[in-house]
Amino acid sequence: MIRAIIVEDERPSADKMEKLLRDSGIVEITGKFTNPVEALEFIKKVKIDAAFLDIEMPELDGFQLANHILDLQSWAAVVFVTAYNGYAVEAFHLNALDYLMKPVDKDRLQETLDRIIQEKEIQMNPSQMQVRCFGRFKVIIRSSEVKFRTGKAEELLAYFIDCKGREVSRNEIIDRLWPDYDGDRAVTHFNTTLHYVRKALLRNGIQVSIEHLRGSYRLDTSSIDCDGHRFLTRVSAADKISDITISEYEETAALYTGDYLGDNEFQWAERNKMLYREKYIRLIIKMADYYKTAGNYSRLVELLKTGLTHESLHSILNYRLIEALLAVKDTIAAVQYYDIYKRGLKNDLGLEPEAKFKKLMRQN
């Protein structure tokens, strides 16, 4: 995998770039920043393979940031991403590996990624199966998304992935995926769908075993790179947050790009969807405590805003965000977020904000 960071002062542009890179299946986003100074601090602690940089940014422009990055990590590939073509000559004078124009074309980006792999001699495992469970379920091999003959075939593989390598009986699978079928009809659907799954994997050169063990089935996940599995493993093993470990927490939080299987209508996934979201929110709150103690209110506000994109009416996230905005004297933004939270509670739940919100607003 190519370990990359994105530095772009406009959040929508950063999000678009992140999606393009993740969809490639060969890039791990280790950091995404709208503040170039924060990106530079990150680079001092975490090794990367590539940096995708906007050029026109406050405090540090892309060229200045690139010089700092190359001073710290001379092996890193610098790729400038901009809406203006007048910077190309200067970009290559700085030994940039490439120069991409917005809106970035998927095929053009793939050329850049291929160059990074070749010129920086990054070791890849082209046969490794990449699985994306946050947002829409996707299986990616060699930068291409695997297509399944039926939606049920895709869902069956997602179910095996969700089981994380445990044995699961055929009856359990049928109960989850074909609850309205019984008897021979259900078994026929299962057998046909399992055949489609195996055929799709083999057709794409994926050497992943689905073992049949005395009426049960097990998917070997040892060679699968799954964002959901990585997220759970990292959250479970997370150490105390410090200046050294905060980058690992940032990487873990960045894995959560949407609800677990949130864009798929898999009824059996609802419980785990809530589980993953709760773990993500707890992670955000833990990181927020660290940034508040460190006095890094810029990152604190950005982090809480990101958390609210996934849980807009979460009481703690809203309170912490409004509190942080007031602490940096951004009263207008604090009032705006309070009004948004208040309207959301009223419209969706018929509730009013807790007394602590009103007290906070009165004090400021």
Is residue 134 a contact partner of residue 118, using CB atoms and an 8 Å limit? no
- The residue behind tokens 């057998």 is 191
Q: How far, rounded to the nearest angstrom, does the alpha carbon of residue 363 sit from its chain's CA centroid?
A: 37
Q: Do strands 98-101 and 129-132 pair parallel, antiparallel, or not at all (unpaired)?
A: unpaired
Cα separation, 96 vs 62, in Å, equals: 11
pTM of the predicted model as reported, rounded to 2 decimal places: 0.70
Q: How far, rounded to the nearest angstrom, does the alpha carbon of residue 230 sit from its chain's CA centroid?
A: 11
Burial (0-12, 13-18, 19+ Cβ within 10 Å), 362:
exposed
Q: Can you tell me the mean pLDDT for 275-288?
A: 96
Sign of CA dihedral 269, 270, 272, 276: positive
What percentage of residues in the chain have a pLDDT greater than 70? 96
Domains of the chain: 2-119 (3.40.50.2300), 126-294 (1.10.10.10), 312-364 (no CATH)
Q: Mean pLDDT: which of 103-107, 123-127, 167-171 is highest? A: 167-171
> Would the pLDDT of 125 be above 60?
no
The reported pLDDT for the residue numbered 138 is 95
Record the tokens describing residue 305, joined without a space. 């805003």
Is residue 291 a contact partner of residue 300, using CB atoms and an 8 Å limit? yes
Q: Can you tell me the mean pLDDT for 40-57?
A: 90
Is residue 345 a contact partner of residue 313, using CB atoms and an 8 Å limit? yes
> Would the pLDDT of 126 be above 60?
no
Is residue 311 a contact partner of residue 317, using CB atoms and an 8 Å limit? yes
CB atoms within 10 A of CB 57: 22
Q: Which of 335, 323, 243, 326 has the alpha carbon at shortest distance from 287?
A: 243
- The residue behind tokens 């405590």 is 289
Sign of CA dihedral 315, 250, 32, 3: negative
pLDDT digits (tens, 9 = 90+) for 227-267: 999 999 888 876 788 887 888 899 899 999 999 999 999 99
pLDDT digits (tens, 9 = 90+) for 293-350: 999 999 999 999 999 999 999 999 999 999 999 999 999 999 999 999 999 999 999 9
Q: Which residues 6+ apart lie within 8 Å of 308 measured at CB?
A: 314, 317, 318, 321
The reported pLDDT for the residue numbered 255 is 93
Q: Which residues 6+ apart lie within 8 Å of 103 measured at CB?
A: 16
pLDDT digits (tens, 9 = 90+) for 181-200: 988 999 999 999 999 999 99
Record the tokens describing residue 162, joined without a space. 């969700």
pLDDT digits (tens, 9 = 90+) for 163-183: 999 999 999 999 999 999 988
Q: Do strands 144-145 and 138-141 pair parallel, antiparallel, or not at all (unpaired)?
A: antiparallel
pLDDT, greater one: 60 or 158 = 158
